[in-house]
Amino acid sequence: MAYELFYWDGLQGRGEFVRLALEDAGAEYVDVARKTNGMDAMMKIMKSKTEPHIPYAPPFLKDGDLIVPHVANILLYLGPKLGLAPRDDGLRYVAHDLQLTIADMIAEVHDTHHPLATDLYYEDQKDAAKIRTRNFLDSRVPKFIGYFERELKQNPHGDKQLVDDTITYVDLSLFQVVDGLHYAFPRAMKTFGKHYPRVAAIHDAVLQRPNIAAYVDSEQRLAFNESGIFRHYPELDQDAK
């Protein structure tokens, strides 16, 4: 039975972190919202008055009768099934911790263009967005990415992956973070590889994985756009330091 992934149609968003794991593993899945009446099917679940536990928001994954919400939770569930989790139980929680840290960073990426309120248009908070983005690029990116660079350097199994001795879903998610930052802030990212060579190498290594390379070059992968988390507004970008 195919997995069913529920997320908003037309954007990568948080759903892309789950798609990358499913695509890398060659798993059979349905991106429900992109199908006819798919959005209606998603909203029916979210507004259900009979399900005992309904997800607050997408993405969520349906595996048979089981519904698993939240990116990190979904990947914790899928990782072992797809061969994308550490074999050691203890290290699986290390991977989960790293994925939760990525979730924290993604929230801050979103706030670069919506620093005041999600319900306001970007144009209504542009001045605040410039201030927030400057702080994000100058301070928060070095702290987050510097942390992942250190984790790679200190991995006893080598710096080619974040956890254990093989690629896991966390490496795929880190790829998406770097890819998104390059889209949103191309000027600021020009010297990224110089400052964070191990993280940059993870991005390149994931992109060379056969299933990921095929997915990225296919129509199945939605393009980055200004409705997603990573948005390119030239006035928010800045020259690399």
Query: Strand 60-63 vs strand 3-6: parallel, antiparallel, or unpaired?
Result: antiparallel
pLDDT in tens, 7-45: 999 999 999 999 999 999 999 999 999 998 999 999 999
Q: Are 209 and 171 in contact (CB under 8 A)?
A: no
Structural domains in the chain? 3-82 (3.40.30.10), 89-236 (1.20.1050.10)
Q: How far is CA 219 from the centre of its chain?
A: 19
Mean pLDDT over all residues of the chain? Answer: 96
Give the pair of three-digit tokens for residue 42.
């998603």
Greatest Cα pair distance, the chain, in angstroms, is 54
User: What pLDDT band is residue 155 in, cutting at 50, 70 and 90?
Assistant: very high
User: What pLDDT band is residue 67 in, cutting at 50, 70 and 90?
Assistant: very high
Give the pair of three-digit tokens for residue 143.
């702290």
pLDDT, residue 51, reads: 79
Closest CA to 92 of 104, 102, 101, 80: 80
**Is residue 62 helix, strand or coil?**
strand
Residue 149: C-alpha distances to residues 9, 60, 109, 200 (Å): 33, 29, 19, 9
Crossing angle of helices 71-82 and 15-25, in 10° steps, is 0
Tell me whether the omega of the peptide bond preceding residue 86 falls within 30 degrees of 0, making it cis: no
Query: Strand 60-63 vs strand 66-69: parallel, antiparallel, or unpaired?
Result: antiparallel
Count of positions (residues) in the chain:
241
